[in-house]
């Protein structure tokens, strides 16, 4: 995979059980909510206050093939043509995100972009601001207190008699807020997850019947308005001091070291 296939975010999200059940009821009624409860029974970390992509967590998605049915898929897309577990382990840290602008061309994503798209609902996502040789985490949530619908691609991989369902989050260019926070983006420029408005979600899941439908999908690959988001600095998430999947993960926390360089300062 070429380096231009990779994105530097989004690598952390919050997806609480309460939100997931609410979305299941909203999309599929009481039956979908009960189905999700059963899916989550065997998962002690059903509340994902901080889901780290590199841990390859299972998160609730809604696919184009079952748009009202909650399913648990693994974060880190494994293309169907990967031959073995060594290939899977080598690749799936590189396919946590998919650039929306090139998803129809890149070998790892093009089949999924045409035939296997999904929605991932999250309470918010995390991004790091870089200063003084450190990374300072920020939590970005909807300004209206709801949840984000993130565009995703999914795949089904078969090996050794078992099946792995996996996904990648689609990203786009950053809006004004995310450009201030995501200040260490690499060569591709500041990025953010592709957030779909309510009227765009079913369009994302609809089948492609020709070039016009593909063009319409490409037109969705744009940043959501900055005023639809709010952000705050939070406690360290990773490393020795990191709190990991704690209820405090998305709670505001002031870092004195950022007093003069806070990207959210007016």
pLDDT digits (tens, 9 = 90+) for 161-179: 889 999 999 999 999 999 9
Task: Tell whether 263 is covered by a domain.
Answer: no
pLDDT reading at 101 higher than 90: yes
Task: Tell whether 48 is covered by a domain.
Answer: yes
User: What pLDDT, on the 0 to 100 scale, is given for residue 45?
Assistant: 77
Task: Tell whether 249 is covered by a domain.
Answer: no
190, two tokens: 């500041």
Query: Are the CB atoms for 173 and 185 separated by under 8 Å?
Result: no
User: What pLDDT, on the 0 to 100 scale, is given for residue 185?
Assistant: 60
Task: Tell whether 206 is covered by a domain.
Answer: yes
**Environment class of 142 (CB within 10 Å of its CB; exposed 0-12, middle 13-18, buried 19+):** middle
Phi-psi sector, 2: left (phi>0), alpha (psi -120 to 50), beta? beta
**pLDDT tens digit sequence for 235-244:** 999 999 999 9
Task: Tell whether 18 is covered by a domain.
Answer: yes
Query: Are the CB atoms for 119 and 205 separated by under 8 Å?
Result: yes
Q: Provide the mean pLDDT of the chain.
A: 92
Higher pLDDT, 154 or 188: 154
Distance of CA 175 to the CA centre of its chain: 16
The pLDDT confidence band at residue 57, using thresholds 50, 70 and 90, is very high
Tell me what the mean pLDDT of segment 8-27 comes to.
91
**Cα–Cα distance, 180 to 1 (Å, whole number):** 29
The pLDDT confidence band at residue 3, using thresholds 50, 70 and 90, is very low
Phi and psi torsions of 111, nearest 5°: -65, -45
The pLDDT confidence band at residue 4, using thresholds 50, 70 and 90, is very low
Query: Are the CB atoms for 216 and 32 separated by under 8 Å?
Result: no
Distance of CA 221 to the CA centre of its chain: 14
User: What pLDDT, on the 0 to 100 scale, is given for residue 68?
Assistant: 96
User: What pLDDT, on the 0 to 100 scale, is given for residue 188?
Assistant: 72
SS3 at position 137? strand
The pLDDT confidence band at residue 6, using thresholds 50, 70 and 90, is very low
User: What pLDDT, on the 0 to 100 scale, is given for residue 9?
Assistant: 61
Domain of residue 13, residue span: 3-134+146-227
Task: Tell whether 34 is covered by a domain.
Answer: yes
**Cα–Cα distance, 34 to 213 (Å, whole number):** 34
68, two tokens: 């009202």
pLDDT reading at 15 higher than 50: yes
**Cα–Cα distance, 170 to 194 (Å, whole number):** 6
Question: At which residue do the structure tokens 């988001």 appear?
Answer: 229
Task: Tell whether 121 is covered by a domain.
Answer: yes
pTM value is 0.94
Task: Tell whether 97 is covered by a domain.
Answer: yes
User: What pLDDT, on the 0 to 100 scale, is given for residue 186?
Assistant: 66
Query: CATH no. for residue 7?
Result: 3.90.1680.10
Number of compact structural domains in the chain: 1
**Cα–Cα distance, 119 to 115 (Å, whole number):** 14
pLDDT reading at 147 higher than 90: yes
Query: Are the CB atoms for 71 and 59 separated by under 8 Å?
Result: no
User: What pLDDT, on the 0 to 100 scale, is given for residue 44?
Assistant: 72
Going by C-alpha positions, the residue among 82, 74, 30, 78 that lies closest to residue 51 is: 74
Going by C-alpha positions, the residue among 58, 100, 50 that lies closest to residue 75 is: 58
Tell me what the mean pLDDT of segment 219-232 comes to.
97
């Amino acid at each position: 995979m070429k380096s231009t296939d990779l994105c530097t975010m989004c690598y952390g999200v919050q997806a609480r059980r309460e939100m997931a059940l609410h979305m299941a009821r909203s999309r599929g009624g009481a039956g979908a909510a009960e189905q999700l409860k059963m899916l989550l029974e065997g998962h002690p970390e059903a509340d994902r206050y901080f889901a780290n992509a590199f841990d390859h967590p299972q998160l609730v998605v809604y696919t184009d093939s079952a748009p009202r049915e909650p399913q648990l898929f693994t974060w880190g897309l494994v293309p169907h043509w990967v031959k073995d577990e060594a290939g899977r382990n080598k690749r799936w840290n590189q396919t946590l995100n998919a650039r929306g602008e090139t998803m129809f061309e890149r070998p790892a994503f093009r089949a999924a972009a045409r035939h296997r798209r999904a929605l991932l609902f999250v309470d918010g996502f995390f991004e790091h601001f870089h200063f003084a040789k450190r990374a300072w985490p920020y939590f970005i949530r909807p300004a209206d207190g709801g949840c984000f619908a993130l565009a995703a691609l999914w795949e089904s991989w078969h090996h050794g008699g078992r099946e792995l369902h996996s996904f990648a989050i689609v990203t786009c260019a950053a809006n004004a807020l995310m450009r201030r926070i995501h200040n260490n983006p690499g060569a591709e420029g500041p990025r953010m997850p592709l957030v779909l408005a309510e009227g765009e979600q079913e369009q994302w899941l609809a089948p492609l019947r020709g070039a016009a439908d593909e063009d319409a999908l490409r037109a969705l690959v744009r940043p959501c308005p900055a005023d639809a988001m709010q952000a705050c600095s939070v406690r360290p998430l990773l490393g020795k001091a990191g709190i990991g999947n704690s209820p405090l993960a998305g709670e505001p926390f002031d870092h004195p070291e950022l007093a003069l360089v806070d990207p959210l300062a007016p």
